[in-house]
Amino acid sequence: MTWNVLVGRCPLESIRSEYDDWATVTVADEYDSPEALEADLPTFDAIVLGGIELTADRIERAENLKVVTSPGVGVDPVDIGAATEHGVIVCNNLGANTRAVAEYSITAALAVRRELRRADRNVRNGVWDKFDYMNTEITEGTMGVFGYGAIGRLVSELAQGLDMDTVAYDPYVEGFAEGVEPLESKHELFERADSVGVHAPLTDETRGAIGETELYALGEDGVLVNASRGPLVDTGALLDALREDVIHGAAIDVFDEEPAPADHPLFELDNVLVTPHMAGSTATSVPAKHRGAAENIRTVYEGSVPETTINRDELCLRAAHGGEGPDGDARPF
């Protein structure tokens, strides 16, 4: 039996070859309107995230849905509770874009520290003053990592390669690499670090975790890089900190709403570098992300459960109680 797979934003036509002999692929961009996509939700067996939000209502209407996978790490667009209730496997793809995001974090911290955006604009406008950018060198400071998963670990490793001291905060991690100092609190991280890379997942606990208190602790020489999810950082507090020179600057790759509106107030500021959620997108990482997503779906198609399943324990518990959701939904786990 052939499956129907919906793939979110994907620039690669070649990704269809991953599904050639066992699935029919529809890319979300092929739809003329959101309403047309909504109407087809009940026809899909699997969905690859990418600009697709799966609310409880949509999951309920997607009556044939068996698996949802992220091509990367984040699964925050999915109501995981609703997916579990309906027997839908939710999984991600660890490692495919780890190096891409880590490289971005270090690159962006350097660019903001050295004010490359302002320097570029000034040269283009005929302003040539090479002594107007005499900031501290990044190797003179400390790199802090908020969220010490695979990306955070590699950011720390790359920072050490630049002779930076490295500190990290993650209350859910016990083992830290040699040379990385684990800290006891989020506040201590922002006090100790000169540059902070945000690499934690978006959860109820981390939403809004970085606000006025943390930014004041980071201080006037501080640089914040957010390449995780927009809502981890309080945008209002960040705007105030940038406008009032509470911190030196920021690099923002992710926003509360994406695409970010054209009149976003961050765009008016010289001390912020903004990019279109591209930290994890390289010529190497994007194909790897979508190959991994296809492998996850193929695993479910063949009757198994991907190793990266987020709701494995909850689904097992559901199966132990008869495999039915609250309304008698008996979609197979």
pLDDT of residue 322: 59
Compute the CA torsion angle 211, 212, 218, 221 (nearest 10 deg).
120
Q: Mind listing the pLDDT tens digit for each residue in 143-199?
A: 999 999 999 999 999 999 999 999 999 999 999 999 999 999 999 999 999 999 999
pLDDT of residue 319: 65
Predicted TM-score of the model (pTM): 0.89
Q: Kindly give the parts of the chain with pLDDT less than 50.
A: 325-333
pLDDT of residue 140: 85
Tell me which residues are annotated as active site.
Answer: 229, 258, 277
Burial 37-73 (b: 16+ CB within 10 A, else e): beeebeebbbbbbbebebeeebbbebeebbbbbbbbb
Q: Mind listing the pLDDT tens digit for each residue in 227-252?
A: 999 999 999 999 999 999 999 999 99
